Structure 1
Amino acid sequence: MALLGNSAIYLGLALSIYSLVIMLIGVKKQNQQLVDSGKGAILSVFLVTAISMALLLYLLGTSQFQFEYVKNYTSTELPLVYKLAALWAGNAGSLLLWTFFLALYNVMIMNSRMLRGNPMVPYVGMILTANTVFFMFILAFVAKPFVLLDEVPLEGNGLNPMLQNPGMMLHPVTLYLGYVGLSVPFAFAMAALLLKNIDDFWIKVTRRWTIVAWLFLTLGNLLGAQWAYVELGWGGYWAWDPVENASFMPWLTATAFLHSVMIQERKNMLKVWNVSLIIISYALTLFGTFLVRSGVLTSVHAFSNSNLGTYFLLYMGIAVIGGLYVLMSRYHLLRRDSGQFESLLSKESSFLLNNLILVGAAFSVFWGTNFPLISEAVRGTKVTVGAPFFNQVNAPIMLALLFVMAVCPLIAWQRSSLKNFRDNFLIPLALTVVLFLALVAMGMTKIWALVSFSVVGFLFLTHIQEFYRGIRARRKMTQETVPVAAWRLMIRNKRRYGGYIVHFGIAMIAIGIIGSNNFESDLAKTVKQGETIEIAGYTLTYESLAQRSEGINDIVFADLAVSKNGQAVGVIRAEKVFYGNWPEPSTEVGLISTFKEDLYVALSAWEPDGRATFSIKVNPLVKWIWTGGIIVVIGSLFAIWKGRFGNVVPKYTGVERKVS
């Protein structure tokens, strides 16, 4: 097994190098047979990578403890589903998964019917294959997945309890798909510049790829937040942990890119900016991987310290410097025939402002994340940057972003008049004022919450108005019923209305964040059996404390009867799990969740006489975050549903165009 696994890795490395070299020669010599040979090698790389991953999954699932990776991350008592999930529990397995996704993306592009004969394809293949060479090198010589132990242990170390959660079955996978997915638009951007194709062709080709990568990044962040909420027991979902930030930064810059490319497509503007954004987004995915695997920053998400960080830092430097060199060498071409802004009051300007806000947010997160390293390098003292810094800096930035999201759909292209502003914004603004006054009348006094909820309400109102106007205009022309007119309007403008649905989802997420950060209640209290705890209208009666066994694990659990304003709600159970092969216990929180609020109970400690200490929180509106995430997914899928590359991709044959 070890021989087969290692041979597959070495063969994958050799094939990757062969593919890169042979396609480079094929492009230089305009030899289609050599290019096709390189494409065949890319398919072979995918196959051997798939074999390697399938083999490692088999070893994990069957508890082959003679392999170091299996012994480190599984045990015989572990359920099969978590044995398989151990694939991404350590460096070697997670990098193998990353390489598999990279090879998969490469094969899909190389064999796309819509891209057949396109001269950019060999260049894209070479850039993606260069990535594959790096990861195959790491798997072959640094983080080896098939290392055999000198002695076969009877039992493995088991999986970190924090990873034994359904969310961790999906969170790393979606995050990797997003990370790797951003390499596709980067490869196309570099290919377009190398071929001196300075139009928006590469953007149109990669639009769906970019949205898919963005969607997976979104899912990865949301699933990670949900995992932290239910698994870590601290009552929150986002702590501005360095690894959380590492996945959030490319999401911000990719979001900026998805908006700014619309200006290039429509107005032939921001070409340099768009290429720069995709280089930055790609670099941030590598930077995030560096943070996770280098051990330079402490995080509950990070892998153990290793020398992988040095390799990733070096590779990131090569990729960024190479990308910037290609960009600067074609800078004069990108600036030529570029459009200009005609008015500050235009959709183009609002999109640019949107970009500046998103990049500003990414920079603030980058600075806060890396300041401890900078401080240690300069002053010799590592200064901790905590959540208060990130909240204070990013709260106004994100509020400004929500406002721009609300305004942008109603502003005209090129130039907006005062009449346009009056006609488009009068009703939403008036209703927003009504909403503000209603919140004040309901007793809301926190000014930041009032302003934030009002801005989110304004966003909803402007988008609803856009839907209303579109449906009304269509009905006037077709006499269709409202549902039919709405569906056909959306289906004929999938990208536009899919984006609006995404905005609705983002607004719902914002509602959850605003509510939970401004109006939470928390209490820690030690009580005897039969005593009650009062918090935010809830009455919790501590009924019992008991212990049970599940395999080699011992579970201490407490039951509390819950009522709200005198009405019985149910029984909530909070647990502390002691794993037989892990030194630290895990917290399993008790949770009653509604759209209004979450009752969140964690068992902190207990005494021999039956007394127990509970950490209790009432988190308003958290469920809006997870529901908003579902809406974002629906909108993203709608925007890319049945996209037609055939309308935007010109046909070529062979590798007819030379690099000049």
Structure 2
Amino acid sequence: MIVEIGHFALVLSLSVALFQSVLPMVGARKGDQRLMETGTIAATGAFVLIGIAFAALVTANVTSDFSVLNVFENSNSAKPMLYKVTGVWGNHEGSMLLWVLILAFFGSLVALFGRDLPATLKANVLAVQAWILTAFLLFILLTSNPFQRLDPAPMEGQDLNPILQDIGLAIHPPLLYLGYVGFSIAFSFAIAALIDGRIDAAWARWVRPWTLLAWIFLTLGISMGSYWAYYELGWGGWWFWDPVENASFMPWLAGTALLHSALVMEKRSALKIWTILLAILTFSLSLLGTFLVRSGVLTSVHAFATDPTRGVFILAILCIFIGGALVLFALRASSLEGGGLFAPISREGALVFNNLFLTTATATVLVGTLYPLVLEVLTGEKISVGEPFFNLTFGPVMVPLLFAVPFGPLLGWKRGDLLGAAQRLYFAAGCALAALVGILAYTGGTKVLAAFGFALAFWLLAGSLTDLFSRAAFLRTGWRTGLSRLIGLPRSAFGTALAHFGVGVTLLGIVSVSSFEKEVITTMAPGASADIAGYTLTFDRVEQRPGPNFEAQTGTFSVRQGGGELARIETSKRFFPVRQMTTTESGIWTHGFSQLYVSLGDPSPDNRSIVVRIWWKPLITLIWIGTVFMAVGGAFSLADRRLRVGAPVRSRRKAALAGT
């Protein structure tokens, strides 16, 4: 009965979404306030109904109701309770239900917190949001129904894909979807502005918090996915340029450009047309990522194996929304005001420079991701585009951008002083030079690129904090007054500094592990030892351990240095009998910001020894720590009293004066 209630709620939510997609827009055209208000009611109602449907699917999984096809294919009575819950979105149908739940959630947030938006703009935004919701609800109900029944009901389920039975994959998809789907709000605002034919600085002020919120979640989602792949798959890498990884990275790059472009539009009423286009392209790339993951055109550990019918349906959604949005943009762009002018050397100019390189970087990733697919369709030839291509195209594009990052906050609006900004960056330049000389001396001049990478990272780290110290004026006013001035700075200033600092931290981790990683691949029997990076790893024993729904072959290693034991590492191979699959659980010992990483391979033919892969990864945790700095920086900016979710609320006094 609960399953039927969930199915009925999902169908009913489609009806509500259809009303929401039409009535508010009709009301906006006619100036009918009551019709426009239906958008608020419908958006809230759709979220509640989809929430009921999602809760029903969770209940079916928790109670192991194998009469539901989705539960039968992705669960098992022996599966731990945590993964019974998180397994709801560990498959195509359940993850799509989570997708539309988050989509409806963002729509309801606009309905509830958009009280200060102009009535027509709010009505149009909610209607556009409902168009997207309607399309994906139709997709779920027609091709991916999570409530489909089996008769007769099986006694046992087929279990969840073993590599998804991990806490990292429990957290990664919701964060990623909050980012993906969150950009739909910027898209809806852009389409609503094009429909109205009017866009101004207030529009940017309304749209920027939503974009920032989505960007924060997408940053954390990508980071969590990277770390999961690093420790769960046993391959020792943190990024593979996998097409599905790229599918989430592209909207992140475009979203970063959108944030900076919206800032220029808000502050100087410039880049209006470009900001609208970026809002469309960012969500379009999110839709493209959804298509790549669910169409069956890719083979990836991240992708869902689906039938071509679903791929065609999503492709149709992709064409309608992206094509329709770009056609509308082409028709309306010429009628929109271009915005204010500014000197090339200014903060606006720096942000345009930022946008130029970010969009170019996005284009290189897009070409590298889609080219093999297009070539296969046109010629039938299969090729792969991997790390060498992206390193040679993406890297050189990002270097000038990263070098320019510290200059941006130090330049004035409309017209800046490049020489003055450079003078304030002397300390950052000194740090970069010291890092360059230090690495060259440490490596004997054999790793020039690594030295320049470290120099760029330290340039970013020191340069990102320069603006805060310059505005606090410690040297001119003294530490006490400077500290008071520092505390009084807007939260957005701290947010910018933290986000840029996080980029430097991540770059430092990337350069370090790429340049100084060590690897040993050897065959070891219990009692054998291997040396790596000044540590001695001793294979103590191997034993069989039962799990709730798997059997584990666990190896225990001792880490020693100078004769003393520092730590013990356990790594295992897990066999899941229901799925007949084996997974690798890597063993990791974290020392400072570095890690010793151990992974078990295949046993020897005589079963007396086993292949062991050992890595020493210096400063690798900085890669993910840096992303946390970025997200915290975004949260600081979002918490700025001048940047609210929606337009600033007028004070009661001002409202009273306006009414007299």
TM-score, normalised on structure 2? 0.93
Q: CA RMSD in A?
A: 2.1
Question: Structure 2 matches for 1:124-273, cutoff 5 A?
Answer: 124-273=125-274
Cα distance, 1:153 vs structure 2: 1.0
1:13 shift after superposition: 1.0
Map residues 13-52 of structure 1 onto 2, 5 A cutoff.
13-52=14-53
- Deviation, 1:217, is 0.6
Q: Distance in 2 between matches of 1:468 and 1:590?
A: 42
Aligned to 1:469: 470
Distance, in Å, in 2 between the alignment partners of 1:298 and 1:113 is 41
* Equivalent position to 1:624, from 617, 622, 625: 622
2:658 matched residue in structure 1? none
Deviations 1:533-558 (Å, cap 9, x if unpaired)? 11221211111111121234211011
* Greater shift in the superposed pair: 274-283 or 441-450: 441-450
Contact 2:588–2:598 (Cα < 8 Å) also in 1 = yes
Q: 1:594 to 1:52 in 2, by over 3 A?
A: same
- Match of residue 612 from structure 2: 614
2:96 is aligned with 1:95: yes
Identify the range of structure 1 (237-246 vs 312-321) with the bigger mean alpha-carbon deviation: 312-321
Aligned partner letter, 1:556: Q
TM-superposed CA distance for 1:195, in Å, is 1.7
- Compared CA separation, residues 422 and 609, structure 1 to 2 (3 A): closer
* Amino acid in structure 2 at the alignment position of 1:495: S
Paired letter, 1:610: R
Q: 2-side partners of 1:449 and 1:178: how far apart?
A: 33
Kept in 2, the 8 Å contact 1:249–1:284? The answer is yes
1:41 and 1:417 map into 2 onto residues whose CA distance is 51
How far 1:339 moved relative to its partner?
A: 2.3
Structure 2 residue matching 1:148: 3-state secondary structure: coil
For residues 42 and 398 of structure 2, the distance between their equivalents in structure 1, rounded to whole angstroms, comes to 46
**Structure 2 residue aligned with 1:373:** 373
Q: Secondary structure at the match of 2:119?
A: coil
The percent of aligned pairs where both chains have the same amino acid is 34
Residue among 306, 312, 333 paired with 2:314: 312
Give 2:510's match in structure 1, choosing from 513, 516, 534: 513
User: Residues of 2 paired with 1:355 and 1:28: CA distance?
Assistant: 35
Query: What is the CA distance between 1:207 and its match in structure 2?
Result: 1.6
Offset at 1:471? 1.8
Asked if the contact 1:371–1:383 (Cα under 8 Å) also holds between the matched residues in 2, the reply is no
Q: Give how far 1:566 is off.
A: 4.2
Partner residue of 2:657?
none
CA offsets 1:508-551 (integer angstroms, 9 cap, x no match): 11111111112111121012221211122121111111112123
3-state SS of paired residue (1:414): coil
Aligned-partner Cα distance in 1 for 2:303–2:465: 42
User: How far apart in 1 are the matches of 2:618 and 2:480?
Assistant: 41
Shift of 1:208: 1.3
- Report if the CA contact (8 A) 2:204-2:263 is conserved: no
Residue identity in the other structure for 1:423: Q
What's 1:423 paired with? 423
Q: Which residue of the partner structure matches residue 542 of structure 2?
A: 545
Instruction: Find out whether 1:403 has 2:400 as its counterpart.
Output: no
1:196 Cα deviation after fit: 2.4
- The residue number in structure 2 matching 1:387 is 387
How far apart are 1:571 and its partner, in Å? Answer: 1.3
Q: Which region of structure 1 is more displaced relative to structure 2, 595-604 or 125-134? A: 595-604
Superposed displacement of residue 606, structure 1: 2.4
Which structure 2 residue ranges, 5 or more long, are not aligned? Answer: 651-660
8 Å contact 2:506–2:624 — kept in the other structure? Answer: yes
Distance of 1:37 and 1:277 partners within structure 2: 29
Q: Distance in 1 between matches of 2:473 and 2:508?
A: 29
Task: Describe the superposition over 1:34-68 as per-residue Cα deviations: whole angstroms up to 9, x where unpaired.
Answer: 22234322222111111100000000000000000
Note the C-alpha offset of 1:406. Answer: 2.6
Residues 433-472 of structure 1: pairs in structure 2 closer than 5 A: 433-443=433-443, 445-472=446-473
Letter of the 2:497 counterpart: Y
**Equivalent position of 2:557 in the other structure:** 560
Q: How many residues align?
A: 645
Distance 1:115 1:356 in 2: 33
Question: Which letter maps to 1:220?
Answer: G
Cα distance in structure 2, aligned partners of 1:129 and 1:488: 42
TM value normalised by structure 1: 0.93
> After superposition, what is the alpha-carbon deviation per residue over 1:116-146, rounded to whole angstroms, capped at 9, x for unaligned?
6532110001000011111111122110010
TM-superposition CA deviations, 1:570-592 (whole Å, max 9, x none) = 11111011112122211111101
1:419 shift after superposition: 4.2
Q: CA deviation at 1:483?
A: 4.5
- Corresponding letter in the other structure for 1:531: A
Contact 2:182 2:214 in 1 (8 A): yes
Q: Check the 8 A contact 1:558/1:574 in 2, yes or no.
A: yes
Q: Which amino acid aligns with 2:189?
A: F
Cα distance in 1, alignment partners of residues 588 and 107 from structure 2: 43
Report the AA paired with residue 432 of structure 1.
Answer: A
* Closer, same or farther: CA 507–547 of 1 in aligned 2, 3 Å: same
Paired residues of 1:114 and 1:649 also in contact (CA < 8 A): no
Question: Is residue 2:636 matched to residue 1:638?
Answer: yes
Q: Which amino acid aligns with 1:459?
A: L
8 Å contact 2:209–2:638 — kept in the other structure?
Answer: yes
Q: State which drifts further: 111-120 or 263-272.
A: 111-120
> What residue is the counterpart of 1:655 in the other structure?
none
Q: Go from structure 1 to structure 2 and tell me whether the alpha carbon gap of 1:270 and 1:480 turns closer, same or farther (over 3 Å shift).
A: same
How far, CA to CA, are the matches of 1:68 and 1:366 in structure 2? 36
Q: Distance in 2 between matches of 1:418 and 1:355?
A: 19
Question: Which range moves more in the overlay, 162-171 or 323-332?
Answer: 323-332
Q: Which amino acid aligns with 1:585?
A: T
Preserved CA contact (<8 Å) 2:44 2:108: yes
Cα distance in 2 between the residues matched to 1:544 and 1:179 = 45
Q: What's 2:488 paired with? A: 488
**Stretch deviating more after TM superposition (612-621 or 594-603):** 594-603
Secondary structure in structure 1 of the residue aligned to 2:425: helix
- Indicate the residue corresponding to 1:657 in structure 2: none
| Cα distance in structure 1, aligned partners of 2:600 and 2:511 | 27
Amino acid at match of 1:470: R
**Contact persistence 2:407–2:421 (CA under 8 A):** no
1:231 touches 1:587 (CA, 8 Å); kept in 2? Answer: yes
Which residue identity lines up with residue 178 of structure 1 in the other structure?
A: G
Structure 2 CA distance, aligned partners of 1:199 and 1:117? 12
Would the aligned equivalents of 1:494 and 1:641 in 2 still touch at CA under 8 Å?
yes
CA–CA distance in 2 between the matches of 1:237 and 1:646? Answer: 34
Distance 1:377 1:304 in 2: 19
Unaligned runs of 5+ in 1: 652-660
Cα deviation, residue 170, structure 1: 1.0
Structure 1 residue 358, shift from structure 2 partner: 0.9
Matched, 1:536 2:533: yes
* Partner Cα distance (1:70, 1:204) in 2: 44
Mapping of residues 498-509 of structure 1, within 5 Å: 498-509=495-506
Q: Contact (CA 8 Å) 2:411, 2:417: kept in 1 or not?
A: no
Matched letter for residue 259 of structure 1: H
Q: 1:649 to 1:126 in 2, by over 3 A?
A: same
